Structure 1
Amino acid sequence: MESKALTNNTGLAIPGFVFLLAALTALAPLATDAYLPAIPTIAKALGRPIPDVELSISFFLAGFSLGQLFGGPFSDHFGRRIGIFFGLSLFITGSLAITFTPSIEWLWFFRVIQALGGGITVVNTPAIVRDLSSGSESARTMSQMAVILMLAPLLAPVLGSLILQILNWQMIFGLLLVYSCVLAIVIYRVLPETRQIQTNRPSALRRYWMVLRNRHALGYLFSACFGYGSLFAFITGSPSVYMGYFELSESTYPLAFGVNVIALVLMNKVNIQLLGSHNPRSLLLAGQLIQAAAGAVLFGYVFLSETIQLQFFIPLVILFFGCHGLVNANSMAGITDLFPTNSATATALMGACGFAFGAFSGSLVGTLYDGTPLPMALVMFACALLAPALRLLLQLGPQPESAARN
Structure 2
Amino acid sequence: MLKPDTLALTIVLALLTALGPLSTDMYLPSLPSIAAGFGATTGQAQLTLSAFLLGFAAGQFFYGPVSDRIGRRPVLLFGLGLYVLATLACALAPSIEVLIGARFLQALGASGPIVLGRAIVRDFYEGPRAGKELSRMGTIMGVVPAIAPLFGGVIAQVSGWRVTFGVMILCGLALAATVFLRLPESIRRKSKEPISFVAILKGFRSLLGHAGYRTYVSLSMLAYGGLFAFISGSSFVLQGLYGLSELAYAFSFSFVVVGFIGGTYLAQHLVGRYDLDDTIRFGVASLAAGGVLMLVLVASGAQSSLAISGPMAIYGLGVGLTMPQSMASALMPFPDRAGAASSLLGICQMTFAAILGIVLGRNLGGSALPLPAAIAVTGVLALAVSLGTERARRAPA
- TM-score normalised by length of structure 1: 0.92
Aligned in 2, Cα 1:365/1:76: closer, same or farther, shift over 3 Å?
A: same
Paired position in structure 2 for 1:201 = 193
Q: Which residue number corresponds to residue 95 of structure 2?
A: 103
CA–CA distance in structure 2, aligned partners of residues 393 and 75 of structure 1: 34
Alignment of 1:55-204 (within 5 A): 55-198=47-190, 200-201=192-193, 203-204=199-200
Task: Identify the structure with the greater helix proportion.
Answer: 2
**What fraction of aligned residue pairs are identical, expressed as a percent?**
32
Q: Once structures 1 and 2 are overlaid, which stretch shifts more, 74-83 or 16-25?
A: 74-83
Q: Determine the C-alpha separation between the residues in 1 that align with 2:322 and 2:132.
A: 13
2:270 aligned partner, one-letter code = L
1:362 aligned residue: 357
**How far apart are the structure 1 equivalents of 2:218 and 2:234?**
24
User: Kindly tell me: are residues 398 and 191 of structure 1, through their superposed partners in 2, closer, same or farther at Cα, counting changes over 3 Å?
Assistant: closer
Aligned equivalent of 1:10? none
How many angstroms apart in 2 are the aligned matches of 1:199 and 1:299? Answer: 47
Task: Point out the more displaced range, 387-396 or 178-187.
Answer: 387-396
After TM superposition, give the deviation of residue 386 of structure 1 in Å.
1.4
Q: 1:252 Cα deviation (Å)?
A: 0.9
1:125-181: CA deviation from partner (whole Å, max 9, x where unpaired):
010000000111000001100010011111111111122222221111111111101
Output one character per residue of 1:333-364: Cα deviation in whole Å (capped at 9) or x when no partner.
Answer: 10011111111111111111111111111111
For residue 59 of structure 1, report the CA deviation from its aligned partner. 0.5
Give the direction of change, closer, same or farther, for the CA distance of 1:253–1:197 in structure 2 (3 Å limit).
same
In 2, are the aligned partners of 1:38 and 1:164 still within 8 Å (CA)?
yes
Is the contact made by 1:223 and 1:391 (CA closer than 8 Å) also made in structure 2? yes
Q: Which position in structure 2 is the counterpart of 1:314?
A: 309
Between 64-73 and 42-51, the greater mean CA deviation after superposition:
42-51
Q: After TM superposition, give the deviation of residue 6 of structure 1 in Å.
A: 4.7
Q: What is the identity, as a one-letter code, of the residue corresponding to 2:215?
A: G
Is the CA contact 2:223–2:287 (under 8 Å) kept in the aligned structure 1? no
* C-alpha contact 2:32 2:236 (8 A) present in aligned 1: no
Unaligned residue ranges in structure 1 (runs of 5+): 8-12
Q: CA RMSD in A?
A: 1.8
After superposition, the Cα gap between the structure-2 partners of 1:92 and 1:313, relative to the gap in structure 1 and judged at 3 Å, is closer
Secondary structure at 1:218's aligned position in 2?
helix
| 1:335-346 correspondence to structure 2 within 5 Å | 335-346=330-341
Give the count of matched residue pairs: 392
* Counterpart residue number, 1:263: 259
Question: Is the 1:216–1:395 contact (alpha carbons within 8 Å) kept by the matching residues of 2?
Answer: no
Q: Deviations over 1:268-309 (max 9, x none)?
A: 111101111111111112210222122222212222x13433
Secondary structure of the corresponding residue to residue 21 of structure 1: helix
Question: Could you tell which deviates more after superposition, 115-124 or 309-318?
Answer: 309-318
What displacement does 1:263 show? 1.6
Aligned-residue offset at 1:62: 0.6
Amino acid corresponding to residue 88 of structure 2 in structure 1: L
The answer to whether the Cα contact below 8 Å between 1:6 and 1:15 also exists between their aligned partners in 2 is: no
